[in-house]
Structure formats: C-alpha cells, structure tokens
Amino acid sequence: MFKYPGGRQYKVKETEEAVQPLHQNYGNRGMTLEEDLNSTNEYYREHGIAIIHKKPTPIQIVRVDYPKRSAAVIKEAYFKQASTTDYNGVYRGKYIDFEAKETRNTTSFPLKNFHEHQIQHMRQVLQHGAICFVILRFASLGEVYLLDASHLLSFWERQQSGGRKSLTKQEIEQYGHHISLGYQPRIDYIRVVENIYF
C-alpha cells in the first residue's frame, strides 16, 4: 500500500496499470513501454548517442515484513512528493524531458492518464527552452508516437475549458510523429527528436 504525502492512499487507476502490448513483431516482444524505453536508453548510453535516465519514484518505506531474510515485503510506503515526468537527460547539448504513457484504446488517448503536476512541470520545462514531449503507445495497435509537449498542453487546455477529455488518434497522427519499432534500439525516439528539434 502506497500513500501520498498527506496520508491519502494511492489507488491505481485502470489507465495507470501496466499494459501488455501485443506480441506482433520483433521490436515488441511482450515488453511494457517502460521496459522498451529503458532498453532503448541503455542502447543510447552504450553507443554514446544520448544520456537519458528514468527518474526514480521517491517513496518512504514505513513498514516491512521479513518472513525470512531473503524475502522482505514492503507493506506500507508513502510517496514523498508528486512525481514529474518519467525520463530526462541530454542529447546534443540540449536538456530532454519526457513522459511515457500507453493505452489499450484504439481511437483516442485519455487525458486522465496525465496529472496536473505533470502538465505544470512540462510547461515549466518548455518555458526554459528545453525539449519536452510525451511518448504515447497504442498497445493494442502496436503503434508509438512522439507528441511535443506544447501540443499536449493545448489539448489539456481544451479539456479544462470543457472540451474533449481525450486526444483523438487522428490528432495524434496530425500533430505527433510516428516512431518505428525495431530491435536495437526498440523505440528509436532520438531519430524523431533529431528530425523535429535539430
């Protein structure tokens, strides 16, 4: 059980659960988006392409059961603070910051997958001139897109003004950039970053 800094219990929403992608092709062998991105980032580091890391989620462990020394089980923990985005690092001298999300939907991407504090963080990153985006995976379709954070912020504002609570797949295709899946690296988002931002 995890709790937020005020003591409120954290409950996993259906949209936040790990989504298992289809076993469709060699670049998508049953791994989650996070595993694919971690593998990709390791490839980038090993080949001197970019230095991108997954940010750890800051938690404070409160209670641990030790049924035996080799099998400690965390029974209660609290989030120390709200997390920002999933990944950050440097590519060609520019700071990069991005969030990664996936859905089983095939026609839209729910904005409820994002949190207000993440949106605020992305807005601040953009204000400082850094590269900021989201990587969106349609798990059932095996499709991955990179969407610049400025577009996500526009869609978020539309929702705040009473508009759609999701991005249509057509909007993502129009404003985003398809990322081809491969073997090494699995999700070559730096190729897209190079084309858009450099």
Report whether 60 belongs to an annotated binding site.
no
Amino acid of residue 182: G
To the question of whether residue 84 is assigned a binding role by annotation, the answer is yes
What residues contact residue 96 under an 8 Å CB cut-off, 6+ apart? 50, 52, 87, 88, 89, 90, 130, 131, 132, 193
Backbone angles phi, psi at 125, to 5 degrees: -60, -45
86 assigned to a ligand binding site = yes
118 is an annotated ligand-binding site residue: yes
Closest residue by Cα to residue 142 from 178, 172, 174: 178
Please state the residue numbers annotated as binding site: 84, 86, 99, 118
Binding-site residues for Mg(2+) sit at 84, 86, 99, 118
